[in-house]
């Protein structure tokens, strides 16, 4: 295979040399906000996570693609990321589940990439200066530099509208025989397949577009409402906090990642952007109630401002690396949320109990009525 020389240029002018992989970028230029992910495996799940809309993913692990790709590991209908950056692309896949190689997958999905990059240097740069816009491709350096400078990043942009479903659909109950399934309405803000797999273990799930009014959801008489993960700036998702406010107190609510941030916003809290976000599968989080530490999977650039939480909200989880709020619980209505990913695709399963807590919360509310 012939090598196509390519460049990565960040908005501050920092330049990296590499080679083009994956799909051809239009005009030889791909742009987005450059972030890094520290997971050692799960590259396919990461690439197909809609939460990466508007971003270029840097994999810190040096060898990517060695076990290939299978449709069984897709987390959404297609990748929404702007591109991928890796050190070494495996030229040969080696896994019995693999149906194609990573490079072929990227080409088929229309995702451009750049390999041969010194990802250690790039990661240190982002860690020191923060996530920033960038451009990569086969175009000349001046063109890429201008494209990087013009890229707006993810601040203030509603990326949810690009990833949410067009119309409602249902995911069948897969729980144990003899159990009467609950009914849960899940807001698709960029929902992952693994989340639906967990939810369908306790309920029949009706997934609805992000713009669905609270009145329409309540008219479906759900036992609970789920607020999914999703991309970008929570403050740019207009209307959703008001929608969530209309659900609170009417039905139990559980949120993950962007759903957590939007629940907090609906409760009057504010959000802010982290310097380089949390992206990886090894973040330690303390569960305050028990003092236990969970190793968690995370993927977000924004967080809830601790000082803006009202007295009716209790912090339930904290990140042990930087103290970020990782979970909240409402004291006056049945609602809770976490910043990290208990479904962990990819990642550890320490926090899968949260789906059981949602199940129990629904039962508690039913029993009290």
- Matching residue, tokens 């303390």: 286
- Matching residue, tokens 């952007």: 273
How many CA atoms does the CB half-sphere of 27 hold within 13 Å? 7
Please confirm, yes or no, whether 257 is among the known catalytic residues. yes
In a domain, 174, yes or no: yes
The reply to whether 192 and 341 lie within a common domain is yes
Give the Cα separation of 112 and 300 in Å (integer). Answer: 22
The reply to whether 110 and 255 lie within a common domain is no
In a domain, 155, yes or no: no
pLDDT in tens, the chain (369 residues): 578 999 999 999 999 999 999 999 999 999 999 999 999 999 999 999 999 999 999 999 999 999 999 999 999 999 999 999 999 999 899 999 999 999 999 999 999 999 999 999 999 999 999 999 999 999 999 999 999 999 999 999 999 999 999 999 999 999 999 898 999 999 999 999 999 999 999 999 999 999 999 999 999 999 999 999 999 999 999 999 999 999 999 999 999 999 999 999 999 999 999 999 999 999 999 999 999 999 999 999 999 999 999 999 999 999 999 999 999 999 999 999 999 999 988 888 999 999 999 999 999 998 777
The reply to whether 261 and 122 lie within a common domain is no
The reply to whether 119 and 223 lie within a common domain is no
Our CA angle for 232, 304, 128, nearest 5°, is: 70
Instruction: Kindly give the pairing relationship between strand 182-188 and strand 203-209.
Output: parallel
- Matching residue, tokens 């006056």: 332
In a domain, 274, yes or no: yes
pTM for the structure as a whole:
0.96
Give the end of a domain, one of 125, 150, 175.
150
Residue 176 and residue 200 in contact, taking contact as beta carbons nearer than 8 Å:
no
Where residue 72 sits, what CATH number does that domain have?
3.50.30.20
- Least Cα distance to 14 among 115, 126, 109 occurs for 126
Give the end of a domain, one of 115, 150, 185.
150
Choose the catalytic residue: 45, 257, 279, 317: 257
DSSP string covering 66-85: TT-B-GGG-SSSS--SSEEE
Where residue 326 sits, what CATH number does that domain have?
3.40.50.880
The reply to whether 167 and 86 lie within a common domain is no
**Percentage helix, strand, coil for the chain under 3-state DSSP, each rounded to 5:** 25, 30, 40
The reply to whether 69 and 98 lie within a common domain is yes
The reply to whether 274 and 356 lie within a common domain is yes
Q: Which tokens go with 326?
A: 């990782």
Choose the catalytic residue: 125, 198, 260, 341: 341
Torsions phi, psi of 10, nearest 5? -85, 165
Give the end of a domain, one of 150, 179, 211.
150
Residue 156 and residue 54 in contact, taking contact as beta carbons nearer than 8 Å:
no
In a domain, 223, yes or no: yes
The reply to whether 233 and 294 lie within a common domain is yes
Choose the catalytic residue: 75, 294, 326, 343: 343
In a domain, 62, yes or no: yes
In a domain, 115, yes or no: yes
The reply to whether 284 and 210 lie within a common domain is yes
The reply to whether 146 and 272 lie within a common domain is no
Residue 301 and residue 57 in contact, taking contact as beta carbons nearer than 8 Å:
no
- Count of domains observed in the chain: 2
Domain that holds residue 47: 5-150
| pLDDT one-digit tens code per residue, 136-187 | 999 999 999 999 999 999 999 999 999 999 999 999 999 999 898 999 999 9
């Amino acid at each position: 295979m012939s090598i196509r020389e390519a460049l990565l240029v960040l908005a501050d002018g920092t330049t990296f040399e590499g080679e083009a992989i994956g799909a051809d970028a239009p005009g030889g230029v791909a742009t987005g906000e450059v972030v890094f992910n520290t997971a050692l495996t799960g590259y396919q799940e990461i690439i197909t996570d809609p939460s990466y809309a508007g971003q270029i993913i840097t994999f810190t692990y040096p060898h990517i693609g060695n076990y290939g790709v299978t449709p069984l590991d897709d987390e959404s209908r297609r990748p929404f990321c702007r591109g991928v950056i890796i050190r070494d692309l495996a030229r040969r896949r080696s896994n019995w589940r693999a149906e194609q190689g990573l490079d072929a997958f990227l080409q088929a999905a229309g995702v451009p990439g750049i390999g041969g990059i010194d990802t250690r240097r790039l990661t240190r740069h982002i860690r020191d200066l923060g996530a920033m816009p960038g451009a990569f491709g086969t175009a000349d350096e001046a063109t890429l530099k201008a494209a990087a400078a013009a890229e707006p990043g993810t601040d203030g942009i509603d990326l949810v509208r690009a990833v949410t479903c067009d119309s409602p659909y249902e995911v069948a109950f897969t729980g144990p025989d003899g159990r009467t399934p609950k009914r849960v309405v899940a807001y698709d803000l960029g929902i992952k397949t693994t989340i639906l797999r967990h939810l369908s273990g306790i309920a029949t799930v009706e997934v609805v577009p992000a713009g669905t009014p609270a009145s329409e959801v309540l008219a479906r008489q759900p036992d609970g409402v789920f607020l999914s993960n999703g991309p970008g700036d929570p403050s740019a998702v207009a209307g959703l906090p008001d929608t969530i406010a209309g659900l609170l107190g009417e039905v139990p609510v559980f949120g993950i990642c962007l759903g957590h941030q939007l629940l907090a916003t609906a409760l009057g809290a504010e959000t802010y952007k982290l310097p380089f976000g949390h992206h990886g599968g090894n973040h330690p989080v303390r569960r305050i109630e028990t003092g236990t530490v969970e190793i968690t999977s995370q993927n977000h650039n924004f967080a809830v401002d601790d000082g803006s939480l009202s007295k009716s909200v209790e912090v339930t989880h904290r990140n042990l690396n930087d103290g970020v709020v990782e979970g909240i619980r409402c004291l006056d209505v049945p609602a809770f949320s976490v910043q990290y990913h208990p479904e962990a695709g990819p990642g550890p399963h320490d926090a899968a109990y949260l789906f059981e807590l949602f199940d129990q919360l629904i039962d508690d509310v039913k029993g009290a009525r």
